[in-house]
A and B are shown apart, each in its own frame.
Chain A
Amino acid sequence: MPGKLKVKIVAGRHLPVMDRASDLTDAFVEVKFGNTTFKTDVYLKSLNPQWNSEWFKFEVDDEDLQDEPLQITVLDHDTYSANDAIGKVYIDIDPLLYSEAATVISGWFPIYDTIHGIRGEINVVVKVDLFNDLNRFRQSSCGVKFFCTTSIPKCYRAVIIHGFVEELVVNEDPEYQWIDRIRTPRASNEARQRLISLMSGELQRKIGLKVLEMRGNAVVGYLQCFDLEGESGLVVRAIGTACTLDKLSSPAAFLPACNSPSKDMKEIPFNEDPNPNTHSSGPSTPLKNQTYSFSPSKSYSRQSSSSDTDLSLTPKTGMGSGSAGKEGGPFKALLRQQTQSALEQREFPFFTLTAFPPGFLVHVGGVVSARSVKLLDRIHNPDEPETRDAWWAEIRQEIKSHAKALGCHAVVGYSESTSICEEVCILSASGTAAVLNPRFLQDGTVESCLEQRLEENLPAGCGFCHIPYDELNMPFPAHLTYCYNCRKQKVPDVLFTTIDLPIDATVIGKGCLIQARLCRLKKKAQAEANATAISNLLPFMEYEVHTQLMNKLKLKGMNALFGLRIQITVGENMLMGLASATGVYLAALPLPGGIQIAGKTPNDGSYEQHVSHMQKKINDTIAKNKELYEINPPEISEEIIGSPIPEPRQRSRLLRSQSESSDEVTELDLSHGKKDAFVLEIDDTDAMEDVHSLLTDVPPPSGFYSCNTEIMPGINNWTSEIQMFTSVRVIRLSSLNLTNQALNKNFNDLCENLLKSLYFKLRSMIPCCLCHVNFTVSLPEDELIQVTVTAVAITFDKNQALQTTKTQVEKSLQRASTDNEELLQFPLELCSDSLPSHPFPPAKEHLESASSNSGIPAAQRATSVDYSSFADRCSSWIELIKLKAQTIRRGSIKTTVTVEKASPMNEGNFRNRSAPPCANSTVGVVKMTPLSFIPGAKITKYLGIINMFFIRETTSLREEGGVSGFLHAFVAEVFAMVRAHVAALGGNAVVSYIMKQCVFMENPNKNQAQCLINVSGDAVVFVHESELEVVSSQPPTANCQSSCPGGDVTT
């Protein structure tokens, strides 16, 4: 009996009138957990009852504690007829189950009814007494912390990042059970809410068990989704990254550390890890034992690996230790093997993180993605969800092999999603292939990175851009050049990634949101024919989406995409593709080529004129965008290293010797998985329509920026004013015989208009940036397109906004000091010594060096249309499709696409250098943000995960203000319930907030509508930096402020 749950019902307020005669209510409360129910007394004739009940005590297994929600029902007592339910509150008590989170849940909760919405509030106090249970075979996993945040949470330090955890549970959907025909909509909705809550709890518990098995203590980047498969059931699935986290005790712990470098720090992991894993390390980290027992090699391997990363040329330049250069070779090989095997031990070397501790990410290969079309069938045995498991395993295997083809042993920024229409389901997975630093995966002696930092010192922010694959054996045709930053290593011409921009990346100018939007009509079909049709369309959609992305990127004068998310949605008669990403100009990559238009009928004079007219327009747009986003890459001068790279075949020999010297490539097995690893690289626009659509994208009004990543490069003086919002739009397509073009235009307009509306609505916040803009498309009915956007608008200080490249470079130089004083403890020696001494001179040098190495005039580089290669690619596509077509017969179809190149590194986090903090927190305000941080504030405590699922239904749609009125009220109610739960946990904000699902169905003829919403996030406590400053002296803050030119240190 390892837990006692105690609940007290204090009072209610604003209850609805349940008795028309007296205009009052006789309310009482039922408190239910598992199969036990308690009741309060009836409080007669009041809309503000004061029950002040005794403590209701439930004695329960901790397994139940994890699975079951606490269910509180408020009822109106009726002597003669059945008691009427006023509404319910479900409380997830999980946050009370681990020590560092909340200790008590106490506060006012909205009383929610699925038909009437919020009906008053109830004040509840909940506590849990946990008894220690040492049973090894326990089924519960109390104590494992969950975070939605896709980076190491701010007040923790990663000791070990273990890797991927996943689980799924299935059940019958109550809405489709026979009993649903005879029960009320309310009963059915409540059954569904309860079931999903139960399944979420179970899922979390199971994932927790896996984490314990891996000897971790937390899950970061936890993403839980549910699939409403209709007749065939309900699937709740989750993925995450298992970690061992250490709580950073208090600010005091790292403040005095200034001049005592890594030594002190080095000890921390050993001290703090209660059970030194030497003997007990689980199957996932077998190599650790070796390293521990063979300590010399360990230290060596560290050094050599640092040269393996950004520093492979250290010996040549004479920087760092010369001896390492010689000995480095063999050790490096050893290290490589270690990493390789460490990762290969894992079934799936995937990480759901999008931002990483410094030094974690070594190289980035590119985006890898896989999709598969499946036909849903009834899940016969819910306890053995093998089919669904097998489907995902297949996809993950695919991803893994793609990563391998890119010369990468891991996938970061990994996510999974589904789109379901009737009995067809598209499963999608995507991530960024990467080479990781093995240390984090093993013993987490993180400080070694610091050593590396100190040694390396120079080539900041370009290491991750360097290609991880062998130039001789490239998995796809790419134009390689020498890195424009360090000039030592090869970089691709464009990078696509699904992760956040690494904080040390050197970026020129600002970034912007880039979207590719696409619709394709599809014939209505049944079952297998339908699945076949869809999987035939998929590759073309992917291809076009990428063409659009690439073109738009070039139009913006940028060369890299971060946070890329491609969503393919299936409907009855169409497929929609929406890709969102944040474009930036990485200083390490070459200038993007322009867009060249070539006419198809070159003889036609007027046509040519038209073409040249369009060309001019495009060139103008590029120039304008460069100005708008402040992209002024340094002027290019002399030096051969950066000069035009010879044609791939010609240069191959030359490069070979080089690649041998850096010895990376030889051991890569590129042959495997190469066959279906497709990479698109497009420089052509094949139709005028595309060109037009390129030019119709209107830039945001002045004062506005937008991105879908956590932070916006080039802006780092956020004020604390934030506004999180959700906007939903549904359009009805007018005609039944639509063409693809018309459809595309409609969809494009829908998205553009939505953005315009957002800019207009938020105009009072100017200057401001929309961050983490997250678009979701669904096709609820034949002619309906629904777009849901969640984002946060953050104002920034205009006076300090004019930072340009200089600070960017500076920033990267001092990243170790500024980036995350909380995340990792070691940065301070850097900030005290190296920083103040040379923030400026190195920056300058940097600029010059960067400028000196790209020798090609932009015009020359503008890639012209290459039809032959295009045709090549097309034919291989078709090949692929043929291949896939054969699998269709077996009932499941899959298409896979692997795309482009990618990048990043550590923690992206601007918090520390946010502008003068202001705005006192008002009592009771709960902030919500999709970001992992709150500008101008410091998160001091994580209180637990918020994961809520609501259904709202109405049979009086017109009376509630139509569909808009209905949904508006519901979304507002959902926000309110999230805030209430956070406040009851003692928190004042939700970070990493995400609306994972918003399923809206209407039946205007019956005056009915129904909506399901699923949201999640991390409840936290934050303090404003202004308040913090009073308490503790703050060298880091002072430092970062001084780093901004014009940054007002005094304020």
Chain B
Amino acid sequence: MTNELDIFVGNTTLIDEDVYRLWLDGYSVNDAVALRVRSGILEQTGATAAVLQSDTMDHYRTFHMLERLLHAPPKLLHQLIFQIPPSRQALLIERYYAFDEAFVREVLGKKLSKGTKKDLDDISTKTGITLKSCRRQFDNFKRVFKVVEEMRGSLVDNIQQHFLLSDRLARDYAAIVFFANNRFETGKKKLQYLSFGDFAFCAELMIQNWTLGAVDSQVDDMDVDLDKEFLQDLKELKVLVADKDLLDLHKSLVCTALRGKLGVFSEMEANFKNLSRGLVNVAAKLTHNKDVRDLFVDLVEKFVEPCRSDHWPLNDVRLFLNQYSASVHSLDGFRHQALWDRYMGTLRGCLLRLYHD
């Protein structure tokens, strides 16, 4: 006796959160059943393994049917086939678009292309996340990217509107889209200590200040592409390190202000020129796409690592950066104050976030 056919359809679609998670995690029906058995559900409910199997299959089928709708969440809201309470709909969407930290770190900043998709096998092996789940997450990134890539208006708002995600998740996706579009390198060994959250934080600052949308809210791609003109202008900052007088003046201003306030004052004094050169050169190089991609590598190499090797406490870094950017205003010969603030304001935020072990 075998069950040839076995279905259960409720007027209100039954969603089992635990099974949904197993499905999202890419487990096969049999693995999911095994995992559920291990969770002790049989003892709690007095059910048999066969019942569990049938239940799991049913849920999997439902999820499979829902998946098509989840690809365009507004459809899920308007469709008539599944009657699902709004709170459950939100849960379905949110969970479907949620991603694993380990996975996102692997693909962050990579081109969301077929080539990358082929590497998912390796990512799966490396992270221990099932290939199926990797694919779902990758496809989510790609889908969101495709939809909002060329849209005008705020990136976060667009994502929220088209995918009905929570604010938090929409911000994360904005970061993913931003990184994918600008292809920032995040995979280098040096950068391994950074979390997705660190990058997402930086992305948000950069979107707010460095993109086209920061100047004009009526352009296409406004939040996705960096403001090219701004990047061109950044070359002007070079004078801060190229002009020896200006550099010395800047150094003395900073040192005077910080004397006695920094635990690592002498190290700072000794390194000032190197650090300043590093930061300004990063800015000046951003005209080239290649260097834009290496932004985070450069920041870590030129600033984070030197400071870390001298054991700067975070607070000293903060004091230094504040003073470093503020002192420029007192340099009479320097004419690009606004540009400096737009650059340094964001960079300071990023550096502070990136500065940890």
Known: A922-B85, A961-B64. A757 touches B11 (CB 8 A): no
Q: Which residues of A contact B2 (CB under 8 A)?
A: 731-732, 734
The distance in angstroms between the C-alpha atoms of A682 and B56, with both chains bound, is 43
The residue of chain B having its C-beta at the shortest distance from the C-beta of A990 within the complex is B11
Report how far A733 CA is from B4 CA in the complex, Å.
Answer: 10
Annotate B241-257 by CB proximity to A: 1 below 8 A, 0 otherwise: 00000000000000000
**A701 pairs with B46, CB closer than 8 A:** yes
Query: B325 at the A/B interface (Cβ < 8 Å)?
Result: no
Q: Tell me if A1000 counts as interface (CB < 8 A to partner B).
A: yes
- Do B61 and A761 have beta carbons less than 8 Å apart? no
CB 8 Å contact bits of A719-736 with B (1 = contact, 0 = none): 000011111111111100
Which of B47-55, B271-279, B281-289, B293-301 faces chain A? Answer: B47-55
Known contacts A763-B45, A964-B57: A757-B12 contact under CB 8 Å: no
Query: B298 to nearest A CB, angstroms?
Result: 42
Interface string of B1-29 (1 = CB under 8 A from A): 11111111111111000000000000000
Asked whether A726 lies within 8 Å of B9 as measured between CB atoms, the reply is: yes
Residues of A within 8 A of B54 (CB): 757
- Bound CA span A997–B17, Å: 33
The reply to whether A961 and B61 contact each other, CB–CB distance below 8 Å, is yes
Residues on the A chain within 8 Å of B12, using CB: 723
A976 to B47 alpha-carbon distance, docked (Å): 31
A728's nearest neighbour on chain B, judged by CB, is: B7
Chain B residue numbers with a CB within 8 Å of A968 are: 7, 9, 58, 61-62, 65
Closest-CB distance, B334 to chain A (whole angstroms): 54
Could you say which residues of chain B place their CB within 8 Å of the CB of A979? 11, 80, 83
Given contacts A13-B78, A980-B80, contact A732 B85 (CB under 8 A): no
Contact in complex: A732, B55 (CB < 8 Å): no
**What DSSP secondary structure best describes chain B's contact surface?**
mixed
Residues 466-494 of chain A: 1 if any B CB is under 8 Å from the residue's CB, otherwise 0? 00000000000000000000000000000
What per-residue 1/0 map shows which CB atoms of B83-118 lie under 8 Å from chain A?
Answer: 101100000000000000000000000000000000
Residues of B within 8 A of A728 (CB): 5-7
Please, which residue of chain A has its CB at the minimum distance from the CB of B65? A969
Interface residue? A187 (CB, 8 A): no
Contact B3 A110 (CB under 8 A): no
Q: How far is the CB of B32 from chain A (nearest CB, A)?
A: 15
Chain B CB count within 10 A is highest, among A118, A121, A746, A969, for A969
Chain B binder among A209-217, A579-587, A924-932, A939-947: A924-932
Q: Is A108 an interface residue (CB 8 A)?
A: yes
- Contact residues in A for B10 (Cβ distance below 8 Å): 723-725
Q: Is B75 an interface residue (CB 8 A)?
A: yes
Partner of A725, one of B8, B51, B82, B86: B8
Closest chain-A Cβ to B205's Cβ sits at a distance in Å of 37
Would you call B39 an interface residue if the criterion is a C-beta within 8 Å of the partner chain's C-beta atoms? Answer: no
Which A-chain residue is minimally distant from B52 (CB atoms)?
Answer: A760
Are A732 and B81 CB-contacts (below 8 A) given A922-B86, A961-B64? no
Whether B79 is near chain A, meaning CB under 8 Å from some CB there, is yes
Contact A730 B14 (CB under 8 A): no
Q: Given the known A-B contacts A753-B51, A979-B83, are A725 and B3 also in contact in the complex, defined by CB atoms under 8 Å?
A: no
Q: How many residues of B contact A (CB 8 A)?
A: 38
Contacts of B51 in A (CB 8 A): 753, 756-757, 760
B-chain residues with CB within 8 Å of residue A545 when the two chains form the complex: none
Partner of B81, one of A725, A928, A973: A973
B9, A730: Cβ atoms under 8 Å? Answer: no
- Residue from the list A118, A750, A760, A975 in contact with B47, Cβ < 8 A: A760
| A749 on the B face (CB < 8 A) | yes
Task: Check B5–A753 contact: CB distance below 8 A.
Answer: no
Which residues of the other chain, B, contact A784 by a CB distance below 8 angstroms? Answer: 4
**B3:A733 contact, CB within 8 angstroms:** no
- What residue of chain A has the Cβ atom nearest to residue B13's Cβ? A972
**Partner of A110 from B7, B55, B65, B81 at Cβ < 8 Å:** B81
Interface: A375 (CB within 8 A): no
B162–chain A nearest beta-carbon distance, Å: 15
Q: Is A600 an interface residue (CB 8 A)?
A: no
Chain A interface residue count, CB cutoff 8 Å, equals 52
B4 adjacent to A731 (CB under 8 Å): yes
A14 to B77, CA, bound (A): 12
CA distance A391 to B45 in the complex (A): 50
Residue of A nearest to B2 (CB): A732
| CB atoms of A14 and B75 under 8 A apart | yes
Would B4 and A963 count as touching, CB distance under 8 A? yes
* Assembly CA distance A723 to B13 (angstroms): 9
Q: Which residue of B lies closest to A793 (CB)?
A: B10
Asked whether any CB of chain B lies closer than 8 Å to the CB of A965, the reply is: yes
Q: Type the 1/0 row for A103-122, where 1 means its CB is closer than 8 Å to any CB of B.
A: 00000101000000010010
Chain B window 195-208, contacts with chain A (Cβ cutoff 8 Å), 1 for yes, 0 for no: 00000000000000
**Do residues A760 and B45 form an inter-chain contact, with CB atoms below 8 A?**
yes
Compute how far the CA of A750 lies from the CA of B50 in the bound complex, rounded to whole angstroms: 12
Q: Please, which residues of chain B bring their CB within 8 A of the CB of A973?
A: 81
Residues of A within 8 A of B52 (CB): 760
Q: How far is the CA of A979 from the CA of B80 in the complex (A)?
A: 8
Would A727 and B9 count as touching, CB distance under 8 A? yes
CB-nearest residue of chain A to B6: A729
* Residues in chain A near residue B78, CB distance under 8 A: 13-14, 121
Residues of B within 8 A of A758 (CB): 8
Mask: chain A, 910-950; 1 = CB below 8 Å from B; 0 = not = 00000000000010011110000000000000000000000
> What residue in chain B is nearest A784 (Cβ atoms)?
B4
A971 contacts B by Cβ under 8 Å: yes
Quick one: closest B residue to A966, CB to CB?
A: B5
Mark interface residues in B290-332 (1 if CB within 8 Å of A CB, else 0): 0000000000000000000000000000000000000000000
With the chains together, A900 CA to B5 CA distance in Å? 37
CB distance from B77 to the nearest CB of A (A): 10
**Complexed CA–CA distance, A108 and B7 (Å):** 27
> Most chain-B CB neighbours within 10 Å: which of A13, A731, A786?
A731
In Å, the complex CA distance between A926 and B80 comes to 11
Contact, CB under 8 Å: B83 / A731: no
Cα(A758)–Cα(B7), bound, Å = 11
CA distance A725 to B260 in the complex (A): 75
Chain B residues whose CB sits within 8 angstroms of the CB of A223 once the complex forms: none
Question: Does any Cβ of B come within 8 Å of A967's Cβ?
Answer: yes
Cβ contact within 8 Å between A733 and B45: no
* A772 nearest CB across to chain B (Å): 13
B1 touches A757 (CB 8 A): no
Bound state CA distance, A194 and B268, in angstroms? 87
Chain A residues with CB under 8 A of B4: 730-732, 784, 963
CA distance A786 to B4 in the complex (A): 9
A759: chain B residues at CB < 8 Å are: 47
Name which of B8, B45, B55 has the most chain A CB atoms within 10 A of its CB.
Answer: B8
Known: A701-B46, A753-B51, A969-B65. A118 touches B80 (CB 8 A): yes
Contact among B6, B9, B55, B62 for A760, CB-based, below 8 A: B55
Q: Which A residues touch B65, using CB under 8 A?
A: 968-969, 972
Q: Are A967 and B7 in contact (CB under 8 A)?
A: yes
Contact A121 B3 (CB under 8 A): no
In the assembled complex, the Cα of A110 lies from the Cα of B51 at a distance in Å of 33
User: Given the complex, which residues of B lie within 8 Å of A1000, measured CB to CB?
Assistant: 5
> Which of A108, A750, A922, A971 contacts B80, CB < 8 Å?
A108
Q: How far is the CA of A728 from the CA of B55 in the complex (A)?
A: 13
| Chain A, Cβ-Cβ closest to B9 | A971
- A sample of 7 more A-B contacts (CB under 8 A), given A753-B50, A761-B14, is A14-B75, A110-B81, A723-B14, A732-B4, A967-B5, A968-B9, A968-B62
B residues at A contact (CB < 8 Å): 1-14, 45-48, 50-52, 54-55, 57-58, 61-62, 64-65, 75, 78-83, 85-86
27 A–B pairs (Cβ distance < 8 Å), ordered by A: A118-B81, A701-B45, A726-B8, A728-B5, A729-B7, A731-B2, A731-B4, A746-B1, A749-B1, A757-B8, A759-B47, A760-B52, A763-B45, A928-B11, A963-B4, A964-B5, A968-B7, A968-B58, A968-B62, A969-B65, A971-B7, A971-B9, A972-B82, A975-B9, A976-B80, A979-B11, A1000-B5
Q: Which 3 A-B pairs have the closest CB atoms?
A: A730-B5, A725-B10, A971-B9
